[in-house]
Amino acid sequence: MVLGKQGAGKGTQCVRLSHHFVVPHISTGEMLRAAVKSRSPLGLKAREMMDRGELLGDDIIMEMVGQRIAEPDARARGFILDGCPRTTHQAEMLADLLAPIDIDLTVDIEVPTAQVLRRLAGRRVCTDCGANYSVDAPPKVNWTCDMCGGEVVQRPDDTEEAIRRRLDLYEHETAPLIDWYDARDQLVRVNGVGSPDVVLRRIIRSLEQRQARRRGGSSRRRRRPESPEPASPTDGGPSN
Ligand code: AMP
């Protein structure tokens, strides 16, 4: 599971991690945006809340996630969960859904708020495949997605007011999950400042170190990033 403020790079890193580990990427935000686009009953209900930056109800979200993780690909290979849980109640519901096992690890991507604000203001996304771009790193041809040819636009919830609301909700509802998972020895913290490649390498190194420690039978907890290293001067630009 991957945690981080809006704009910390969760979406970008989850896509890369899912390719690296060959497991499905399950993003509640993407699933909801697809529902909005298809005008399904869920999408019609979700749209206004999402545009305002509000959180949807725990029951709706966990039902959607429960159905997705029961699908054959997720059951066979596991999954990378992006955007859920967002509250401790969702974390409890997720643990119930997954019992008797639990999520393996939570990666917290740490980026200062001033920086995520800059990234979000310039973020642009493909309306078809969800690929991330920015005003500084646009698609090659006239705001048409390099991957699928879809239209690349600013997300409706990337307005100043909705961004403020989403960061506020993150701080009050989601950030407590960092301590929640740390207390269960299920957390690694990773410095999210740097290019997407640099951050991906840090995440994979942290996960490998954690696996090695587990294999070695040590359950020692750390509060610092597993492998501290100086931030890269190049920031990889906006992402989810
Ligand atoms: P994201 O793409 O993860 O930033 O999600 C976009 C929007 O979808 C959020 O601002 C919420 O309105 C909604 N959403 C996504 N995941 C959740 C969740 N786990 N709980 C409640 N609302 C969610």
pTM of the model: 0.86
Residue nearest (by alpha carbon) to ligand 1 atom 8: 29
Q: Give 28 Cα–ligand 1 centroid separation in angstroms.
A: 6
Digit-coded pLDDT (tens) for 1-42: 999 999 999 999 999 999 999 999 999 999 999 999 999 999
Quick one: average pLDDT of 103-108?
Answer: 94
Concatenating the DSSP letter of every residue in 19-39 gives HHHT--EEEHHHHHHHHHHTT
Q: Which atom of ligand 1 is nearest to the CA of 65?
A: 19
What crossing angle do the helices spanning 88-98 and 58-69 adopt, rounded to 10°?
Answer: 30
| Residue 16 neighbours by CB under 8 Å, 6+ apart | 196, 200
Task: Quote the percentage of the chain above a pLDDT of 70.
Answer: 90
pLDDT band, very low/low/confident/very high, at 130 (cuts 50, 70, 90): confident
Lowest mean pLDDT among 40-44, 85-89, 129-133, 167-171: 129-133
The CB of 6 under 6 Å from ligand 1? The reply is: yes
Segments making up each domain of the chain, as ranges: 2-122+158-216
For 2-122+158-216, CATH number out of 3.40.50.300, 3.40.605.10, 2.60.120.380, 1.10.760.10 equals: 3.40.50.300
